[in-house]
Amino acid sequence: MSTSVRPYSPADRDAIRYICCETGFSGNPIDPLFSDREVFADFLTRYYTDWEPESSWVAEVDGRVVGYLLACARYRYHKWAEFCILASLVPKVLWRLIRGRYDVPTKKYLHWCLTNGRKETPAAPKQSAHFHFNILPEYRNSGLGMQLVKTMVNNLRARGVKQVYGQIQTFEDRRTERVFNKYDFHTLDRREVTKFQDYIGHKVYLSTMVLDLTGNSRLFRDAAYSVRTQDDASAG
């Protein structure tokens, strides 16, 4: 199995949108929770692929895109772009709702977004880059997720970014948080997310994990070693 991480290109856009929808329901396909894949992918990925593609990377296995990491280093610009994207999505969603194109779970999801979405989103640091990533289920134990994170860290540090955070789905045992803690991410905030409660028999949380890019964490050392190793292999 040949694996690699590389910068995003426009040809990857459809694959990223597919992976986003295939993993949007706590790592599983979003369809039982929200049936409109176009809107879901637009909301979660369109800014990164269309407005800041230079901060995005994909993971490949044997030439197939199986994961991605999307980051935002231009956080002031992101707010304005996010407003524009929402302004284009709201009329589309309302029209489809009026036309009866949404099933009951989709309507419940939209209701959650309007009533609980913001208050169940954990606090995030101001003036900070951010990222999110997803890997198809069959490749989650391949190490590609951490390769994506290390690639992003190298890139953002080289661009002078001082801090980055991700909001990661976690569970009561907090194993996912501990993996990030091992690389010197710290947990800023953690809140229960109720949109899954009708489908999953355990609590799901969203945790804000923050990394100081000016320090010397294990992640930086590992990332630098990975880059040197790749360079040595290329030279050989």
Q: Is 180:170 a contact under the CB 8 Å cutoff? A: no
What does residue 35 show for φ and ψ, rounded to 5 degrees? -85, -10
Mean pLDDT over the full length of the chain:
90
The pLDDT assigned to 234 comes to: 33
The pLDDT assigned to 222 comes to: 61
Q: Looking at this protein, which amino acid is placed at residue 128?
A: S
Task: Tell which wins on pLDDT, 154 or 216.
Answer: 154
pLDDT by residue (tens digit) across 28-58? 999 999 999 999 999 999 999 999 999 999 9
Q: Which two tokens stand for residue 87?
A: 């302004």
Q: Is 34:24 a contact under the CB 8 Å cutoff? A: yes
The pLDDT assigned to 236 comes to: 36
Domain boundaries, the chain: 3-235
Q: 231 pLDDT exceeds 80? A: no
Distance, CA of 160 to chain centre: 21
Q: Is 155:55 a contact under the CB 8 Å cutoff? A: yes
Strands of 3-7's sheet, edge to edge?
3-7, 56-61, 64-72, 129-135, 163-170, 205-212, 186-192
In CATH terms, 3-235 corresponds, of 3.40.50.80, 1.10.3720.10, 3.40.630.30, 1.20.58.340, to: 3.40.630.30
Q: 181 pLDDT exceeds 60? A: yes
Q: Which two tokens stand for residue 23?
A: 């993993």
Residues 6+ positions from 143 with CB-CB distance below 8 Å: 3
Q: How confident is the model at residue 220 (pLDDT cuts 50, 70, 90)?
A: low
Provide the whole-model pTM. 0.89
Q: How confident is the model at residue 209 (pLDDT cuts 50, 70, 90)?
A: very high
Q: Is 192:107 a contact under the CB 8 Å cutoff? A: no
Nearest to 209 by CA among 146, 171, 163: 163
Percentage of the residues of the chain whose pLDDT score is greater than 70: 92
Q: How many angstroms separate the first and last alpha carbons of the chain?
A: 21
What does residue 119 show for φ and ψ, rounded to 5 degrees? -75, -20
Q: 11 pLDDT exceeds 90? A: yes
Q: How confident is the model at residue 223 (pLDDT cuts 50, 70, 90)?
A: low
Q: How confident is the model at residue 232 (pLDDT cuts 50, 70, 90)?
A: very low
Q: Measured between alpha carbons, how far is residue 195 from residues 32, 82, 208 in Å? A: 12, 22, 18
